[in-house]
Structure 1
Amino acid sequence: MMILFRQILFCLLWLWLPVSWAAESGWLRSPDNDHASIRLRADTSANGETRLLLDVKLENGWKTYWRAPGEGGVAPSIAWKGDMPEVSWFWPTPSRFDVANITTQGYHDEVTFPMIVRGTPPATLSGVLTLSTCSNVCLLTDYPFSVKPTVQNADFAHDYARAMGKVPLRSG
């Protein structure tokens, strides 16, 4: 019986181990909004700069909004927990949507928002993302998260460079 218990415990620890290495929140969904999934990833670069990626996946027909969404939308925002320095968001080029004679700007399908932390962040980044998603109805959803940054992860650096490539050179 003790051997069986040890084997089960070993298997459970083995399955848990990759999660402990993760520098991402994992894909988060809200029971109040099954039309969107979000993931926050974090990494510290060689020069000590902490960079973040907010990945958003939307179901077909759903959209979310840009930093200046227009007449009828709410931009994504994060309420950070703890002593968090300033975080600069970079906004990929949005699409324009016209719904009921209201023009908005935003994203559909998938979008990744790159960010940079200006200063030294806490060891674990925690907060609540507020995201507005719309189809023929709009939902304002909160996603609590917690993530520890990796250090100089090559896959993250590639994804960050790709996300920054979708950001306009000049802000408008």
Structure 2
Amino acid sequence: MIKAAVARACIALLPFFGAAVCASSSAHAAEAAWVMKEHSSIRVVAWGPSPDEPDAIVLGIHLRLQPGWETYWRTPGDAGVPPDFFFDETENVDELYVDWPLPERKVQAGMTTYVYKDEVLLPVTIYPHEAAQPVKFRMRVTYAVCREVCMLEEADLALDVMPSAKDAKLTPLFEENKARMPVLENTPELAIDRVNGTDADGKRRLEVVARSNTAFVNPQIIIEAAPGFAFKPATVAATMEGRRLMLRSEYTHPNNMAIAEGETVVVTVFDATHAIERIMLVYPPE
């Protein structure tokens, strides 16, 4: 079975039907050929056994954009289309997760979107069903590319990977990408402690409490909730010499729905030097 973790993937594993170009690979290769599109190129690469998770291997969806073009993060923001992945033809896989590097926040005409420019590598962690057999990775991807206008590009990617194989020449690519990845659990260096839901003055807000062992530098937050919820830019109050934050974000819903106590949201807090992303329960105000 292939499934996606909410905090790591935040995508639906649903098929996209349409024409595509297939990049096939030789048996047990470490990287597939680039699929050349009108405004981008895309490939899949295999790093090998995960350095962090036993019994897992790490692949990467490697996307390059032409100068001036951009694509969207898993949650685009006030506009845009997220990438759509279809993995159901992948073989010898128990679990599959897609991780997302931090996007760039773009504010234009009063709208906030989250984008990637130039180049991005999305790590894919796979737990093989049979460790002695190759993983036959098959993926159809559809993604928006935008400059002054937006259009959809799509590709089929294929790569056969032996779980035990390690490709050292890809290590620099994956290691450099780590600097863009948020941590997924609280650490002594960075933590998200609590999310409170409030309803005061006729405005609904989420309050996020975060802390660091060093002072935050230009802290920012992204909150992801169920479809329809839209979050305004957060106000930030810092205490403990800048090492503890209270971030408040007002939200709306077209049907005037509220985020109830006990529901979950995905919260990403980041600044100039570090980032954290966690699935959090919503609590009543303290």
1:171 aligns with 2:180: no
Q: 1:120 aligns with which of 125, 129, 153?
A: 129
Task: Please report how far the alpha carbon of residue 74 of structure 1 lies from its aligned counterpart in structure 2 after TM superposition.
Answer: 1.8
**Cα distance in 2, alignment partners of residues 114 and 101 from structure 1:** 32
Task: Please report how far the alpha carbon of residue 133 of structure 1 lies from its aligned counterpart in structure 2 after TM superposition.
Answer: 0.9
1:162 aligns with 2:176: yes
Q: Is residue 90–residue 135 contact of structure 2 (8 Å, CA) maintained in 1?
A: no
* Aligned counterpart, 2:72: 65
**Cα distance in 1, alignment partners of residues 173 and 30 from structure 2:** 14
Q: 1:147 aligns with which of 159, 166, 180?
A: 159
* Aligned counterpart, 2:83: 76
Q: What secondary structure, in the 3-state scheme, does the structure 2 residue paired with 1:159 have?
A: helix
**Cα distance in 2, alignment partners of residues 27 and 115 from structure 1:** 17
**Cα distance in 2, alignment partners of residues 92 and 65 from structure 1:** 12
**Cα distance in 1, alignment partners of residues 174 and 84 from structure 2:** 19
**Cα distance in 2, alignment partners of residues 120 and 43 from structure 1:** 18
* Aligned counterpart, 2:58: 51
Higher helix share: 1
> Identity over aligned residues, as a percent?
28
Highest Rg: 1 or 2? 2
Q: What secondary structure, in the 3-state scheme, does the structure 2 residue paired with 1:148 have?
A: strand
The one-letter code sitting in structure 2 at the alignment partner of 1:23 is A
Distance of aligned partners of 1:117 and 1:123 in 2 relative to their CA distance in 1, 3 Å threshold: closer
* Aligned counterpart, 2:21: none
Query: Structure 2: any 5+ residue segments left out of the alignment?
Result: 1-24, 184-275, 279-286
Q: Give TM-score scaled by structure 1 length.
A: 0.76
The one-letter code sitting in structure 1 at the alignment partner of 2:113 is T
* Aligned counterpart, 1:37: 41
Q: 2:106 aligns with which of 77, 97, 108?
A: 97
Q: Give TM-score scaled by structure 2 length.
A: 0.48
**Cα distance in 2, alignment partners of residues 45 and 56 from structure 1:** 22
**Cα distance in 1, alignment partners of residues 167 and 158 from structure 2:** 18
The one-letter code sitting in structure 1 at the alignment partner of 2:84 is S
The one-letter code sitting in structure 2 at the alignment partner of 1:75 is P
Distance of aligned partners of 1:115 and 1:171 in 2 relative to their CA distance in 1, 3 Å threshold: same
Larger relative contact order (C-alpha < 8 A, sep ≥ 6)? 1
Q: What secondary structure, in the 3-state scheme, does the structure 2 residue paired with 1:171 have?
A: strand
Q: What secondary structure, in the 3-state scheme, does the structure 2 residue paired with 1:124 have?
A: strand
**Cα distance in 2, alignment partners of residues 148 and 99 from structure 1:** 42
Q: Is residue 48–residue 58 contact of structure 2 (8 Å, CA) maintained in 1?
A: yes
**Cα distance in 2, alignment partners of residues 161 and 112 from structure 1:** 11
* Aligned counterpart, 1:108: 117
- Please tell me the root mean square deviation across aligned C-alpha atoms, in Å: 2.5
Distance of aligned partners of 1:53 and 1:82 in 2 relative to their CA distance in 1, 3 Å threshold: closer
Query: Structure 1: any 5+ residue segments left out of the alignment?
Result: 1-17
**Cα distance in 2, alignment partners of residues 167 and 136 from structure 1:** 28
